[in-house]
Chain A
Amino acid sequence: MTASTFEQVRNVASDIFGIPADKITAESSPETIENWDSMQHLNLVLAIEEKFGVQLDPEDIEEMKNIGAVAALVEKLQSAAR
């Protein structure tokens, strides 16, 4: 995963979860981010789709276990689209 995709995903997560970007790591997950509930998960999915112009399948959405996994998924989808 490139630094820039990770950084962009981190910025998206920062806005959605309302926490400073520098507090978010690749390991940040629903266990470590307090308000990462199912509704915020949907908001994260929608923000990722909007920001990166990708479409997430239900299977993809289940893979989004932490921020690192989200960034990896975005890269996978973007390279598949190319």
Chain B
Amino acid sequence: MPDSNSTPDSTSAERNPSNLRAKVDKLIAEGAFDLALRRLAELWRRDPASTTASFLISRIDDLRGKDLRDKTSDKLGLTTFKLAILRSFTVEPIVPLLRAEAFAYGIDLEVHVGDFNTYVQDMLDSQSSLYRFAPNAVVLAVRTDQAAPELWRDFADLAPEAAEQAAERVVRGYEQWIGAFRKYSQAALIVHSLERPSSPSLGVLDDQSEAGQSGLIRQVNRELRRIAAGFHGVYSLDYDALVARHGSERWHDERKWLTARLPIAAGYLFQMAREWMRFIVPLGGRTAKVLVVDLDNTLWGGVIGEDGMAGIKVGAEYPGAAYQALHRALLDLSRKGILLAVCSKNNLDDAMEALENHPGMLVRAKHFAALRINWRDKAQNLREIAQELNIGIDALAFLDDNPFEREQVRAALPEVTVIDLPKNPLEYASAVRNCAAFERLTLSTEDQQRTEMYAAQKQRAGAEQNFQSKEDFFRFLEQEAELEPVSDLTLARVAQLTQKTNQFNLTTRRYTEPQIAQMAKKPDWHISSIKVRDRFGDHGLVGVAITHDDGEQCEVDTFLLSCRVIGRTVETALLAHLAESAAQRGRKRLVGWFLPTKKNAPARDFYMEHGFEWQVANCEGSLWTLDLESSTLRCPDWIKLKVSVGSSATETTAGGRN
């Protein structure tokens, strides 16, 4: 997102793209890799062109070469992600744009491009280069002319029954390839829908029947969506709608198609890359969980402190309508489980009056999980919001019309997703809707109820103040925990937690839905989820533990809890359950690694505090072990624990066994 506004931290000469390039090279030569990356990000924001992408990629590859190969991405704070593209057309020029845009979202993307039109062999052959690449995700980018040639060319020659049969054949083909893919790989699969011709062979007559050229392609697309929904981790990308959004005439370049098998015009390659990013960002776990918004000239037009309630612009009519469109975009985010917060330089009373009582406002104070309305530095306010909501600073996104504030936040908190609002308020809503950091590929009940959950969290924090001892507070909370093995109903949420949980996560191993499903089938592996509620409300499914038995020991592969329940001894309950069930299965020891990352310090002493003994350490982390015969690890007696085994449930109060 280019930004031509003046910024506080760089002069105009420094912002010149070629000077920025020189600056990057100088910083790399000096060994200041962190600063070099920041400048690269700035360069990409100012000029997201293919030349910039080539420059950026070459420097990132250069930085990688300068350091220990595998450790670099982690050190640079980037998530590594492997994407394979199976295709029927030239995608190579899109790859640098895609990698540059991925970098802007904190993802170090490695891309494998399949040969032209070998996607069927690639998917059906378990030994193909596709599977050897071991991708995290695969894009199946096939155009209609290749996937359904009979529905594309000479369609008018086909008898109606032959056309129907052709459509069915296409669907069966996809079903077979996707089925094979799922058998051989647990990677996510993103399937392009088929594009309709911009000029059907029979002209307007085509649209008079469901069995016309457009109608049949639409039917194939409906079936593709159905097939995708039938598999975990298979997603549909509406390519037909993408082309329509940008305009078929502008999107296509017939010359490039005929000479280089590249159907997309130079100016739209970036849009293709951005569409793929809407899947890669959530798959790579680089999403924002909270959107922090400014008020004056962002949520409404004008300045409440100067213009007053009657003067600010927000309502159903222009110009206020532009702000209502933004409100609707914010409410849609809220429905997807993204929390909203306010950070505004204002007098609290003025701002609250508008938030509570202005008739044109669609978002109200109750929609915001945290409010910082004061005259302090915004970066500091953002830190406090992250702390209050118990999430990492990198899970924040920031929306502010003032380029000065944006640059200040970027400089102080580079991990925050800063959205560059366009100058025109009419474009605000789409700037928010097009931000890949807010994309979600699945929606759990937890997501939809998140705003209410945080309101309950505020009450808990208030109540905690009134108790002298932690124990008294825990008893007052009346926590109930429910443990159950992962099931079809909880699979999406369990995978999502492994992908998103950063702080209380002992090994930070990320798993996709298919990987979890695969693991759950193995007899030696156990995947438990924990749901927690208390007198203030339901936390939902907040923790996951994965173990596997190996001889006399049971190893904890994954142990994580959402931050909002940490410190309430739920973690002890979950660990005690692992120990108990491992002992029941006849294991002698429970062992587990702690693998440190930049963010999981809250989990560092977890094993030690629960009586585990330090066993060994290497460059990755430390291994801890608990002797199950002598262990005194028990579920705290203030937690009422219910353990379900598949469908049947047995209720026990842990305290009774102490």
Contact = CB atoms under 8 A, between A and B. Distances in A.
A58 B260 CA distance: 10
B529 interface: no
Interface in B1-34: 18
Contacts of B259: 58, 61
Contacts of B54: 15-16, 18, 43, 47
A65 B255 CA distance: 19
A76 interface: no
B93 A46 contact: yes
A63 to B, nearest CB: 14
Given A58-B255, A58-B259, A46 B50 contact: yes
B266 A49 contact: yes
Contacts, number: 49
Contacts of A57: 255
B590 interface: no
A42 B52 contact: no
Interface in A21-74: 39, 42-43, 45-47, 49-51, 55-58, 61
Nearest to B258: A58
Contact of A50 (B90, B262, B266): B266
B267 interface: yes
Interface string B251-292: 000010011101000110100000000000000000000000
Given A42-B93, A43-B93, A58-B255, A16 B262 contact: no
Contacts of A49: 266-267
A18 B58 contact: yes
A33 B259 CA distance: 23
B255 A12 contact: no
Contacts of B262: 42
Contacts of A47: 49-51, 54, 266
Contacts of B267: 49-50
Contacts of B92: 39, 42-43
B91 to A, nearest CB: 11
Contacts of B131: none
B55 interface: yes
A75 B11 CA distance: 32
Given A16-B50, A47-B50, A51-B49, 8 more contacts: A11-B18, A11-B51, A15-B51, A16-B54, A46-B93, A46-B266, A50-B267, A61-B259
Interface of B: 18, 49-52, 54-55, 58, 90, 92-93, 96, 255, 258-260, 262, 266-267, 269
